[in-house]
Structure 1
Amino acid sequence: MTKVIEADKGFKVWWHLTRPHTLTASFVPVLLGTAIALAINHETINFGLFLAMLIASMLIQAATNMFNEYYDYKLGLDNEHSVGIGGTIVRHGVAPKTIMIIALTFYFIAMLLGIYICAMTSWWLVAVGLVCMLIGYLYTGGPYPIAYSPFGELVSGAVMGMGIVLIAFFIQTKEVTIEAILISVPSMILVGAIMLSNNIRDIVGDTEGGRKTMAILVGRHNAVTILATFFIISYLWIIALVIFTPLSVWALLVLLSIKKPIQAIKLFRAKEKPLEVMPAMKYTAQTNTIFGFLLAIGLLASYLL
């Protein structure tokens, strides 16, 4: 019985290392890009490519989280009291080297999947994939980590939000269209919002650690205002596309998710301690997930109906 409990705890340790609540930032864009390909270009979906892209994206996201854990520990930013971390190093005694080996293994598997995707589509994607993987590493690794700068939201949004959507679209259609780019804009913004909410929560600790995030530079109050602006633009963008482009009215299903960002902003305004605002981060991540799913459903409904 004891061994079963220990095994269960061990699984939870490794599961938390991937920071599963962040993985929506990788699989939702893949789903959305595929839905755009079906609804806008009326393509027949290659499910092998879809699954390969989905798994590769999630592996890269999980590896990026592990690089984050490794380098935050190395730089002294994480300790056993830190909020929102996997905690495998500072709380569970896992060797940092082990974390790095797992992350690099995930990258290797993602590269194998990438080779399959390129062989089935275009070898130009090799360069794109390598750039994405390099950015994933440099987000917290290297001499000038992106996450410690004011550009974390921009880079993560562009690569994970818009970039993954467009790659998922391209492998199904062999092209990138203006329509796909326009529809992917809210995904870019909302992935950036996830990173911004994380930086708002960590503003005190990050300041002490020497980071220069957007939240630190503009101040907490303004950072929350920017987060609210991100949410507002995302919803207005889809409404504008429905009004001014051929995008189906079914895309307005995204409005059903509007409760989550409202909850996030209200909580960020009312509370400041990291533990108290953890639900606000959850609401922000849920906004990205639910918004993306509803938009994908709306696109599929427009195709089927």
Structure 2
Amino acid sequence: MVQYPVSLWARAIRAFSFTASVTPVLLGTALAFYQTGTVNLLLMFAALIGGLCLHAGTNLISDYFDYKRGVDQEASFGSSRVLVEKMMQPKDVLTGGFIAFGIATLIGVYLLSVRGWPIVAFGLAGIFGGYFYTAGPVRYKYHALGEFLVFALMGPLMVWGGHFVQVGTIQWLPLLVSAPVGILVAAILFANNLRDIEDDNAAGFHTQASLLGRKRARILYGAMLWGAYLILIGLILFRFAPIWAL
């Protein structure tokens, strides 16, 4: 494996996007603090690093398979472009993705020893969901399922995970609280797909945006943004979340 500068790896993993995985874990932690008044910082940081590794691994593996299938071209915007611009070798990007998943697995083993078997479900969902985002035989990104899975993984899964490592029990409240952040993260992907409709159609695969068409996709995008905040307001009005959640 070729040695690359840290700055190049940061570009490859798209570190700028990591707020999308940090936010739900911290939200789950904040909910646990709201309920119990305490936070285990070691478990919080373990959950954060595990979530970041899953996110990084997914980005690397997505870049690899998009490049191999010809989805990412010279004029494309949706990737880190380290492969399109020949800055890294494809096999090294794929290896980096597996290493990131491996680190997440090791963290999961530690959390398993502390919190028990539910951690296995969270970890497997994250790894399989991230890998099969673009990898066969599932490749749900190419079948207009990307937004649904991103909502599930970056909303309920990570919020539930961040909450569970703090309280040690599975509760239903994190599912409700996770809805706004999950919708907003899915909206980021939807906006990218809206931008890339022509490229995706040329590559021969479908997204929600390409199936809807640009006009209707813009309407749905606006509805997602408004819907996320309306749900949050509803959670506050019904006292499922505090006013400072705004």
Report TM bin, short chain.
over 0.9
Given candidates 15, 18, 43, the residue that maps to 2:13 is 18
Deviation at 1:126, TM superposition (A): 1.2
Q: How does 1:61-210 map to 2 (within 5 A)?
A: 61-210=55-204
Partner of 1:258: none
Task: Measure the CA separation in 2 of the matches of 1:11 and 1:96.
Answer: 17
Which residue pairs with 1:221 in the alignment?
215
C-alpha separation in 2, matches of 1:77 and 1:43: 48
Structure 1 portions without partners, runs of 5+: 1-6, 255-305
SS at match of 1:177: coil
Q: Name the counterpart of 1:27.
A: 22
Sort the Cα spacing of 1:246 and 1:185 in 2 relative to 1 into closer, same or farther, 3 A. closer
Instruction: Calculate percent identity across the aligned residue pairs.
Output: 36
Gaps of 5+ in 2: none
Is the partner of 1:186 in helix, strand or coil?
A: helix
The one-character-per-residue Cα deviations of 1:80-134 (angstroms, maximum 9, x if unpaired) are: 3322321111213421111111110111111101111111111231133112201
Does the aligned pair in 2 maintain the 1:13–1:92 contact within 8 Å? no
For the residue of structure 2 that corresponds to 1:89, the secondary structure is: coil
1:160 is displaced (CA, Å) by 1.4
Give me the TM-score of the superposition, normalised by structure 1.
0.76
* Equivalent AA in structure 2 for residue 89 of structure 1: L
CA separation of 1:28 and 1:207: change in aligned 2, threshold 3 A:
same
Q: Secondary structure at the match of 2:36?
A: coil
Mapped partners of 1:219, 1:239: distance in 2: 30
Match of 2:40 in 1: 46
Shift of 1:191: 1.4
Structure 1 residue 154 displacement after superposition: 0.7
Q: Distance in 2 between matches of 1:246 and 1:94?
A: 47
* Structure 2: distance between partners of 1:109 and 1:248: 35
**RMSD (CA atoms):** 1.7
Quote how far apart the aligned CAs of 1:150 are. Answer: 1.6
Question: By how many angstroms is 1:248 displaced?
Answer: 2.3
| 1:10 to 1:128, Cα distance in 2 relative to 1, 3 A | closer
Superposition deviation, residue 177 in structure 1: 2.6
User: Does the CA contact (< 8 Å) of 2:173 and 2:240 recur in 1?
Assistant: no
Q: Distance in 2 between matches of 1:12 and 1:81?
A: 23
Q: Is the 8 A contact 1:43 1:172 kept in 2?
A: no
Query: Which amino acid in 2 is paired with 1:14?
Result: W
Distance 2:76 2:175 in 1: 38
Q: State whether residues 151 and 186 of structure 2, in contact with CA within 8 Å, keep that contact through their aligned partners in structure 1.
A: yes
What do the CA deviations read for 1:14-73 (whole angstroms, capped 9, x no partner)?
A: 21101123211111101100000001x214211111111101111110110011110011
Change (3 A) 1:127 1:238: closer
Q: Give the whole-Å Cα distance in 1 for the aligned partners of 2:182 and 2:77.
A: 25
Q: More helix per residue: 1 or 2?
A: 1
- Runs of 4+ residues over 6 Å off in structure 1: none
Deviation at 1:246, TM superposition (A): 5.0
Letter in 1 for 2:243: V
- Structure 2-normalised TM-score? 0.94
- Determine if the alignment matches structure 1 residue 59 to structure 2 residue 53: yes
Q: Is the contact between residue 72 and residue 78 of structure 2 (CA under 8 Å) also seen in structure 1?
A: no
More divergent stretch after superposition (239-248 vs 94-103) = 239-248
Tell me the CA shift for residue 176 of structure 1. 2.9
DSSP-derived class of the 1:176 partner: coil
Residues 43, 173 of structure 1: 8 Å contact kept: no
